[in-house]
Amino acid sequence: MAPRYIKPARDIILDFLKKMNKPVKLNEIVKGTGIAYNTVRGRLYELKRKGLVQRTPEGWIELE
């Protein structure tokens, strides 16, 4: 039996931001992904350090 792949939270968050295609508030990301608030917050800051997302006054956006 092949092992199952569990998608990392960071990938789920990036996919969600791409799909939304507009700035998204942290609470909206939590509701839209079903990932815990603290996990989303931590992953967003990791992604920001890597230059993959940006925080704007309107919310978080995925950088292409």
27: tokens are: 């609470």
* Domain presence at residue 22: yes
47 in Cβ contact with 63 (< 8 Å): no
Kindly tell me if the per-residue pLDDT of 21 is higher than 90.
yes
- Residue range 24-54, pLDDT digits in tens: 999 999 999 999 999 999 999 999 999 999 9
Count of domains for the chain: 1
Domain range enclosing 17: 9-62
Separation of alpha carbons 42 and 59, rounded Å:
15
Nearest in space to 9 (alpha carbons), one of 27, 32, 33, 26: 33
Whole-model pTM above 0.85? yes
> The domain spanning residue 36 has which CATH number?
1.10.10.10
